DNA sequence: CGGCTCAAGTGGTCCGACCACTGCGATGAC
DNA sequence: GTCATCGCAGTGGTCGGACCACTTGAGCCG
C-alpha cells in the first residue's frame, strides 16, 4: 500500500540537514561537482540552500564521515577522489561494532571474497607484487612480536587483494580485516598456539601464487580463513 | 620563534567533534551503551564531554548517518539495534556515487557473493522462503511495467540472500543492488531486449533452488550476474 | 630576487534563543 | 472506574551571531 504524496512543489522530506545532504550528494552524482573539486564556503552553501550555517555544517560533517567530502581547516571543503578506499572506509565501523554471530558472518564474507581474490591474484599477479607478498611473509616469520606479526599479516593479505585487480573488493576486505577487528579475534585465536598453523597456511597461499595455480590459491585462502572462522564459531556457541 | 606547544595533559587528536564521535563509538564498543538504549540528551552529552551542543550535534549527526544512532524528534537519541542492515545502509552511497570501472567491480563483487548465497540457499531454504521467491518470480513475469519488474527483481534476490542465512552478506548485497544502482545499469541493459533472457535466468536459479542443488544454483546465479557484468564491461570500454 | 610578515578568508567552536514534536500526567466527561 | 482530551515539560531541530585556529597568498623588507 502506498500513500500518495500530497504535494510536489516542496518535498518536506525529513530535516533540512537531511535534504542538504541529499542535495550535495545529487550534485556529485550529477557531475556538477568533480572529484577533488573545491566547494563553495560553508557560509555560501548555506545561503544557496537557504539554511543556516549550523545545519549546513552538520550536512558537511555527515558527508565527511562517509568519505565523500574532505574539510581542510583554513582552506576549504573538497570532494574526495571518491575512490573505493575513500567510500568504503566506513566499512571498518561495522567490523568494530560487531559482536558474536555477526563476527562469524563477517568472516564468512571474508572467506568468500578472499578465496576468490587469491584465485584471481594467482592468475594476474606481477613479479613486483609477488615480491611484496614474499617480503611480508618473510617479515612475519622473522619476529615473535604479536603486534608486528599482525601488521605484516594484514599487509600480506592486502597485497594479495590488491593483486587481484579489483580495488572495490580490496577495499571491502580491508574493512573486514580492520585492525581492531583482527586484534580482537586474533588475541584469543593465537593464544591457542596457532602461530605455526598460520605460518603454514600463509606459506601454502604463497606457494599457490608462485605456481600461478588459481584453484590451489582459492583452496588455500579458503582454508586459512575457514580455520579462524571455525574457531570463532565454536567460541560464539559457547 | 616560540617554544614548544605546552599541551600534554590532553591529547587533542583532531577536532573536538571527531573526538566526540570516537568517544560515543567507544562507549558502544565497550558495552556501556546497549542496542536500543536511550542516550542522555544532547545538552547533557555536550556537558559531559565538555563541548558545545553544536559540536555534539555534529557528532550525533555523523553517527546517525553511519546507522549507529537514531534521533527521534521530541523523544531522544537511541542506539540502533546495530543490525547488519543498520550499519551497512551506507553501503548504498558507494553504489550511488560509483561510475565506470567501479560499477564493473561492484558487479564482480556481487557475482561472487550472490553465487555463493544462491548455493547456500539451495541447501538451506525453507518451504516458506521458497514460496516467497516463487511469488516474486511469478509477479515479475506477470507484468511489463519496468518499475514493477525491477521491484520484484530486487525482492527476488533479497529473498534468496536472506535464505542463505547470513544477514551480513544479505545486507551487503542489498547495498550493492541499491535501487538507484540497478535503475542506472538496467535502464540500458533492458533496452536491448534482455527481458526474456533475464526471465530465463531467474527461472534457472529457481529450478536449482527447487532441486536443492547448490552447485547448479551457484552456476545459475553467477551466470545471471555475469551477463549484466559483461554487458556493462563492454559499455565502459566504449 | 628571495625570504618574511601579516591580513583576509575559511573551517572549527561556542553561545543563546526559539521552534516543532513527543510523551505523559492532569483533567474532565461518561 | 474508565477513557478520551488537553496542556505542559522536555527533547531534538533550526537559526543567527560571535569569536578562535588555521591556511593562503599578496605585499613588504632585506
> DSSP string covering B19-37, please?
HHHHHHHHHHHTTSS-TTP
Residue that is last in its domain, among A56, A82, A108: A82
A73, A173: one domain: no
Whole-angstrom Cα distance, residue B104 to residue B115?
16
Residue A11 lies in a domain: no
State residue A14 phi and psi, 5-degree precision.
Answer: 65, -160
pLDDT at site A9: 41
Flag whether B27 is in a domain. yes
* CATH number for A48: 1.10.10.10
Q: Is residue B229 part of a domain?
A: yes
Same domain as A65, residue A147: no
Query: What is the CB-side half-sphere exposure of residue A216 using CA atoms within 13 A?
Result: 15
For residue A4, is it within any domain? no
Same structural domain, A132 and A47: no
B170 lies in a domain?
A: yes
- Give the CATH number, domain containing residue B164: 1.20.120.530
Is A9 inside a domain boundary?
no
Please give the residue range of the domain that contains residue B59: 16-82
What does the pLDDT profile of chain A (238 residues) look like in tens digits?
333 344 334 456 789 999 999 999 999 999 999 999 999 999 999 999 999 999 999 999 999 999 999 999 999 999 999 999 999 999 989 988 988 899 999 999 999 999 999 999 999 999 999 999 999 999 988 888 878 888 899 999 999 999 999 999 999 999 988 877 777 777 777 766 777 888 899 999 999 999 999 999 999 999 999 999 998 998 888 7
Same domain, A75 and A97: no
- Are residues B168 and A61, on separate chains, in Cβ contact within 8 Å? no
Confirm whether B62 is domain-assigned: yes
Residues B40 and B156 in one domain: no
The answer to whether the CB atoms of B97 and A112 lie below 8 A apart is: no
Is there a domain that residue B6 lies in?
A: no
A46 CA to C4 C1' in angstroms comes to 37
Q: pLDDT category, B3, cuts 50, 70, 90?
A: very low
Q: Is B190 found in the same domain as B110?
A: yes
The answer to whether residues A23 and A110 belong to one domain is no
Domains contained in chain B, number: 2
In chain B, residues with a C-beta closer than 8 Å to the C-beta of A28 are 97
In a shared domain, residues B94 and B183: yes
The three cell numbers of residue A237 are 556457541
Q: Using DSSP, state whether B90 is helix, strand or coil.
A: coil
User: Quick one: A139 and A186 in the same domain?
Assistant: yes
Average pLDDT for B120-148: 91
Determine, for residues B102 and A61 on separate chains, whether the beta-carbon distance falls below 8 Å: no
| Chain A residues bordering chain B (beta-carbon distance below 8 Å) | 17, 21, 25, 28-29, 54, 57-58, 61-62, 64-66, 68, 82, 84, 87-88, 90-91, 93-94, 96-98, 102, 105-106, 108-109, 112-113, 116, 166-169, 172
Is B61 close to A66, i.e. CB distance below 8 A? Answer: no
CB pairs under 8 A between A and B: 105
Instruction: Report the candidate in B208, B3, B15, B35 with the shortest Cα–Cα distance to residue B117.
Output: B208
Q: What is the mean pLDDT of chain B?
A: 89
Amino acid at each position: 500500500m502506498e500513500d500518495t504524496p500530497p504535494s510536489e512543489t516542496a518535498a518536506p522530506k525529513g530535516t533540512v540537514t537531511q535534504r542538504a545532504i541529499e542535495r550535495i550528494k545529487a550534485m556529485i552524482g550529477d557531475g556538477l561537482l568533480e572529484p577533488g573539486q573545491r566547494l563553495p564556503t560553508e557560509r555560501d552553501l548555506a545561503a544557496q540552500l537557504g539554511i543556516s550555517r549550523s545545519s549546513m555544517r552538520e550536512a558537511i560533517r555527515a558527508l565527511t564521515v562517509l568519505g565523500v567530502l574532505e574539510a581542510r581547516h583554513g582552506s576549504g571543503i573538497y570532494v574526495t577522489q571518491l575512490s573505493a578506499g575513500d567510500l568504503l572506509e566506513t566499512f571498518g565501523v561495522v567490523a568494530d561494532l560487531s559482536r558474536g554471530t555477526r563476527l562469524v558472518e563477517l568472516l564468512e564474507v571474508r572467506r568468500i571474497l578472499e578465496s576468490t581474490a587469491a584465485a584471481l591474484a594467482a592468475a594476474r599477479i606481477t613479479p613486483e607484487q609477488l615480491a611484496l607478498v614474499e617480503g611480508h611473509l618473510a617479515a612475519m616469520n622473522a619476529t615473535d612480536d604479536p603486534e608486528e606479526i599482525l601488521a605484516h599479516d594484514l599487509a600480506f593479505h592486502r597485497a594479495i587483494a590488491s593483486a587481484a585487480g579489483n580495488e572495490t573488493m580490496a577495499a571491502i576486505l580491508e574493512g573486514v580485516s580492520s585492525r581492531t577487528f583482527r586484534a580482537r579475534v586474533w588475541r584469543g585465536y593465537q593464544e591457542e598456539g596457532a602461530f605455526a598453523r598460520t605460518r603454514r597456511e600463509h606459506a601454502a597461499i604463497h606457494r599457490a601464487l608462485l605456481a600461478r595455480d588459481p584453484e590451489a590459491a582459492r583452496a588455500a585462502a579458503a582454508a586459512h580463513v575457514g580455520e579462524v572462522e571455525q574457531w570463532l564459531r565454536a567460541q560464539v556457541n559457547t
